[in-house]
Amino acid sequence: MARVPLKSERDIALMRESGRIVAEVLALVGGHIRAGVTTRELDALAEEYIRSHQGIPAFKGYGPDRRNPFPATLCISIDDVVVHGIPDERELVEGEIVSVDVGVLKNGWFGDGARTFPVGQIGEEKTRLLKVTEEALWAGIARAQPGNRLHDVSAAVQNVVEAAGYSVVRDLVGHGIGKQLHEEPAVPNFGVQGTGVALREGMTLAIEPMVNAGTYVVRLGEDGWTVRTADGRPSAHFEHTVAVTQGEAEVLTRHG
């Protein structure tokens, strides 16, 4: 495994600023989610807010294939779209769930966070899926402490999800974050407790359960970005950027 970069107190202070903007964007966008709003309108709202706070949308123009960079500020993923949904003129519909993922670069440091929102009233299955996915995120964060192993985080997420009868996506994982949007280590949402790299103070991680109501199998769309569940059942996504510190991890993208 490549070296996992450790962050100084000053580095983490700068990441707090990026993380704060991420949290504020998610709160802002969440407040505008309702039936009839287009995903492109939400994306424009987020980009304007980030740039007005001297940040740069981290996802816009990003991608391993320079011929097909991600074209928007937000990843907006509806119902059976797991991640990387591209905003467009589609209007939200009552009863859907909408996963919003946002990255911000400011002062050379990245923050990354995601949350899944209901559009109006949603059914019991989707309500429970959102609840379990967020619980899994916090269970993983609780294990992000010096002396633990990386897969202690992974196993904690997996245990919550599978105990509820859901599945964690295997093809997509969380990641280290800092000067780069994606750094070492990869942070899977499944794993064997007591394995993986030793967690150390100064590591910064984007922990992000992606949880499917049905199978964990996913399919990549023809646009090269949109990832959907193979069985068409809904998926939820929650993410925080955290710093491993003495004692409890510090959540850098917490709102309020």
Mean of pLDDT values over 172-177: 98
> Among 126, 190, 127, which residue's Cα sits nearest to residue 157?
190
Mean of pLDDT values over 165-172: 98
Q: For the chain, what's the residue count?
A: 256
Q: Give the whole-angstrom CA distance, residue 23 versus residue 32.
A: 15
Q: Is the pLDDT of residue 158 over 90?
A: yes
Predicted confidence at residue 1, as pLDDT, reads 55
**CA distances, 22 to each of 27, 233, 254 (Å):** 9, 28, 9
In the block, tokens 């309108």 appear at: 41
Amino acid at position 88, single letter: D
Predicted confidence at residue 201, as pLDDT, reads 97
> Among 188, 237, 213, 222, which residue's Cα sits nearest to residue 78?
237
Mean of pLDDT values over 13-39: 98
- Using CB atoms within 10 A of its CB, is residue 165 exposed (0-12), middle (13-18) or buried (19+)? exposed
- Provide the percentage of residues in the chain whose pLDDT is more than 70: 99
Q: Is the pLDDT of residue 2 over 80?
A: no
Mean of pLDDT values over 45-61: 98
- φ, ψ (nearest 5 deg) of residue 118: -85, 145
Please state the pTM of the whole predicted model: 0.97
Query: Structure tokens of 150?
Result: 């990386």
Query: Structure tokens of 235?
Result: 């998926």
- 237 and 208 in contact (C-beta within 8 Å)? yes
Q: 9-251 belongs to which CATH class?
A: alpha beta
Predicted confidence at residue 3, as pLDDT, reads 86
Mean of pLDDT values over 115-126: 98
Q: Give the whole-angstrom CA distance, residue 203 versus residue 175.
A: 11
190-235 residue pLDDT tens:
999 999 999 999 999 999 999 999 999 999 999 999 999 999 999 9
